[in-house]
Amino acid sequence: MTLTAPAQGEGVPLPGWTELLRRSPLEELLPTASRGDIISFALGLPAPQLFPVRDCAAAAARVLRAQGQASLQYGPPPPSLKRHVVRLMGSRGVECGEGQVFLTAGAQQGLSLLARLLLGPRGQVLTEELVYTGLQQAVAPYRPRTLTVPTDPETGMDVGAAEALLAGGARPAFLYAVTDGHNPLGVSMSLEKRRRLAGLARRHRVPVVEDDAYGFLHYDEEMLPPLRAFEAEWVFYVGTFSKILVPGFRAGWLVAPPSLAPALGSLKESSDINTATFAQHTVAAYLDAGRLPAHLRALRREYRARRDAMLRALAEHFPRGAAWRSPRSGFFIWVELPGEVNLDEVLRDAIETERVAFVPGRSFSADARPRAARSMRLNFSNCTPERIAEGIARLGRVLRRH
Amino acid sequence: MTLTAPAQGEGVPLPGWTELLRRSPLEELLPTASRGDIISFALGLPAPQLFPVRDCAAAAARVLRAQGQASLQYGPPPPSLKRHVVRLMGSRGVECGEGQVFLTAGAQQGLSLLARLLLGPRGQVLTEELVYTGLQQAVAPYRPRTLTVPTDPETGMDVGAAEALLAGGARPAFLYAVTDGHNPLGVSMSLEKRRRLAGLARRHRVPVVEDDAYGFLHYDEEMLPPLRAFEAEWVFYVGTFSKILVPGFRAGWLVAPPSLAPALGSLKESSDINTATFAQHTVAAYLDAGRLPAHLRALRREYRARRDAMLRALAEHFPRGAAWRSPRSGFFIWVELPGEVNLDEVLRDAIETERVAFVPGRSFSADARPRAARSMRLNFSNCTPERIAEGIARLGRVLRRH
């Protein structure tokens, strides 16, 4: 079906699905929330003060000195980068080989390629009721039917509900899971549920796309392995250097059965020929220098301090009856407010009068649940503990007015 | 329709269209043709010896020194890059503003985003009979009906045939055109045809996707303006720094009506969040230094010398009756051989016995025409004049055996 969408294209006829295109909250908030005078809990940005800029500069200079021409030419990814990814996956408890590693321009490209590969027009996807907006965008062109299951704030996805759907005959093209540091809920899935979900994928032959953007940023000593550690054939793992190194290189990876590699390779080539060779060489050179483990420890320490600062401030300043949990991984705290409240108005008020921003929960709602409408996602990675304390105090003031 | 494609996914059910996925000749030939002992006329690689590695290194170092954190963070493209693109477009005779410039990860991403935006499932596209494989890949997921028109080797696309199709009721989602340095044919469109095609787009309200990867690399004094100079609303221009600077930064752009920007922005975000910030900052810093015009002059001089070396060698070594033209822009010479010849066998023989490679013409055939089956695409940008003379002599020997 072709519709004319004059608001978009001065009469250029666009396919009907483009009406579904909406700018994500991230995109809409970027200009406002990036203003220096705003304390922003809105986006999922890593802290730029923690970027290893000097080590990145040294890596880039080394690459250009030693292999300037090759690193700037079209070409396959440097093999050493795949070796590093295999080692990183090993540190998460995942055994895989280089043949299972497929390099991407960040996690979002991984999701986008898998959606394109797995999802036919008007197919089904199975997600949680609250889901990362980037996944919604990645599947939108295929206009899928979205099946949803609830999420327990303590233990993660309701795997029993997923099982019931599959047992009832649902045949989604894939099930989408964020096992650790869920975006937006902050929850990490229990070990028992990981095992059960992996078994479910195998038994029902349903691919699980596991988005592990935050799994390396865990704040407890104990770290659970991702789903991919329990199931190699039906779990497609999506990883990225954006949160653990820098986003600006757009370097990510998939771990998927080698049999998918040719199709992924063709899709990737048709999307952008190949991933930025220079950035990949630079990431590989950074990893060669062996500083990532120490850098990861520093990130965990600092992000844990920021999380704790936010938890303390929430307890002090947020209204009675508001509920949240302490996330064990990732960048986000999900706060559910008591009673009726219009969070769009709260957000406008918060930005205008108190210069503080967040994302209203409905933005993440796959099926417009009322609970999401009175919740907010708060990011704690991109402000210092002091700014977090100040910003939550401001937000508390705004909430008391609504 | 969902089909099981066991060769690709160990039972992972993939949508039917993925059967159409094929590795492009570029992808298939990359491992062989990149071997140091092969003289390759196969790929469309720019000459790495001409990369301004030192200037790129200086730009990268400057960016990391002056704005290390910002250039490695998520973020919008640097505004100065859009200003540079506006100026570059001006040098091609195109008037546009920054609001019409949309930055991409190279030309292929521009094509891929436009295909996704314009093409509904089972829509139509209008291309020439011989067409860039990357365009074929970009449209494959939508399983379009492809309408084709012939190309005149002297004046380019048969615009009259396109007009007849449109007058006859064809309503393609877009028409694809490579106005200068056609890939694979090497031809540049005559001025009269440019005017006519732009008028056709306007009159029939059919978008034209103009792929101008090679337009800045023209070897005559006279340079014709691209279609976009004649029609601002219905021509969507695709540009790239890959051929005029380096491919490794994956930096390209679209010039399109500002009304398309929101939809393109959402699509881009769903594909890979945003273009590699660091690479974009580095390209902007390179351009700030003001060396591109001199670099472009040097590229044109050297590529012209390589083109001329290939033309001389073809005249000396290729069989009587073989036909080719001197391209005024770009990287390719298209050679049509006399009589029946199996070019797959010629290619195998050429690689095995003479260590020389090319791409058989049928790879570019949108509709499997017999003329393409006895043609070959020869790239002259990636070998020195000496290697070109030697390689064409070898290829001439192989052809005499077939």
Question: Does A248 contact B120 at a Cβ distance shorter than 8 Å?
Answer: no
State what percent of residues in chain A have pLDDT above 90: 73
- Listing DSSP states for B69-130 in one string gives HHHHSS-PPPHHHHHHHHHHHHHTT----GGGEEEESSHHHHHHHHHHHH--TT-EEEEESB
- The CA–CA distances, whole Å, from B203 to A169, B157, B207, B233, B234 equal 51, 18, 11, 11, 10
Residue B386: pLDDT band with limits 50, 70, 90: very high
B106: closest CA of chain A, how far (Å): 7
Rounded CA gap, A50 and A52, in Å? Answer: 6
Assess whether pLDDT exceeds 50 at residue B294. yes
Question: Does A108 contact B270 at a Cβ distance shorter than 8 Å?
Answer: yes
Mean pLDDT value across residues A365-393: 90
Query: Could you say which of B72, B123, B248 has the minimum Cβ distance to residue A53?
Result: B72
Assess whether pLDDT exceeds 60 at residue A9. no
B386: closest CA of chain A, how far (Å): 20
Assess whether pLDDT exceeds 90 at residue B363. no
**Does A53 touch chain B if contact means CB atoms closer than 8 Å?**
yes
**B residues 348-387 near A, CB within 8 Å?**
none
**B residues 54-113 near A, CB within 8 Å?**
54, 56-57, 60-61, 64-65, 68-76, 105-106, 108-109, 112
Chain mean position to CA B11:
35
Assess whether pLDDT exceeds 70 at residue B58. yes
Structure-block tokens of residue A220: 């407890």
Encode burial over B101-125: b for 16+ CB neighbours within 10 A, e otherwise. bbbbbbbbbbbbbbbbbbbbbebbb
Instruction: From A193, A203, A259, A186, select the one nearest A227 (Cα to Cα).
Output: A193
User: What is the pLDDT, as a whole number, of residue A168?
Assistant: 95
The predicted-structure confidence for B97-156, as pLDDT tens digits, reads as follows 999 999 999 999 999 999 989 987 779 999 999 999 899 988 988 889 999 999 999 999
**Does A22 touch chain B if contact means CB atoms closer than 8 Å?**
yes
The predicted-structure confidence for A326-347, as pLDDT tens digits, reads as follows 999 999 999 999 988 999 899 9
- Listing DSSP states for B302-335 in one string gives HHHHHHHHHHHHHHHHSPTT-B----SBSSEEEE
For chain A, the average pLDDT equals 90
Residue B14: pLDDT band with limits 50, 70, 90: confident
- The neighbouring-strand residues paired with B2 are B15
Question: Does A12 contact B108 at a Cβ distance shorter than 8 Å?
Answer: no
For chain B, the average pLDDT equals 90
Contacts B24 to A, Cβ<8 Å: 266, 269
Contacts A263 to B, Cβ<8 Å: 8-9, 14, 18, 21
Query: Could you say which of A23, A53, A106 has the minimum Cβ distance to residue B262?
Result: A23
- Interface confidence, given as ipTM, is 0.90
Question: Does A272 contact B69 at a Cβ distance shorter than 8 Å?
Answer: no
- The CA–CA distances, whole Å, from B207 to A391, B43, B117, B391 equal 48, 29, 11, 41
The predicted-structure confidence for A11-53, as pLDDT tens digits, reads as follows 677 776 676 665 555 556 656 766 778 999 998 899 999 999 9
The predicted-structure confidence for A150-169, as pLDDT tens digits, reads as follows 999 999 999 999 999 999 99
Q: What are phi and psi of B108, to 5 degrees?
A: -60, -40
Question: Does A262 contact B68 at a Cβ distance shorter than 8 Å?
Answer: no
Question: Does B9 contact A75 at a Cβ distance shorter than 8 Å?
Answer: no
Instruction: From B76, B1, B6, B84, select the one nearest B283 (Cα to Cα).
Output: B84
Assess whether pLDDT exceeds 50 at residue A2. no
Mean pLDDT value across residues B189-217: 97
Query: Could you say which of B53, B118, B248 has the minimum Cβ distance to residue A277?
Result: B248
Structure-block tokens of residue A347: 């957000």
The residue type of B84 is: H
Do the bridges between strand A375-379 and strand A359-360 make them parallel or antiparallel, or are there none, so unpaired? antiparallel
Rounded CA gap, A341 and A234, in Å? Answer: 41
Q: Are A85 and A340 in contact (CB under 8 A)?
A: no
**Does B254 touch chain A if contact means CB atoms closer than 8 Å?**
no
**A residues 111-140 near B, CB within 8 Å?**
112, 116-121, 123, 134, 137-138, 140
**Does A35 touch chain B if contact means CB atoms closer than 8 Å?**
no
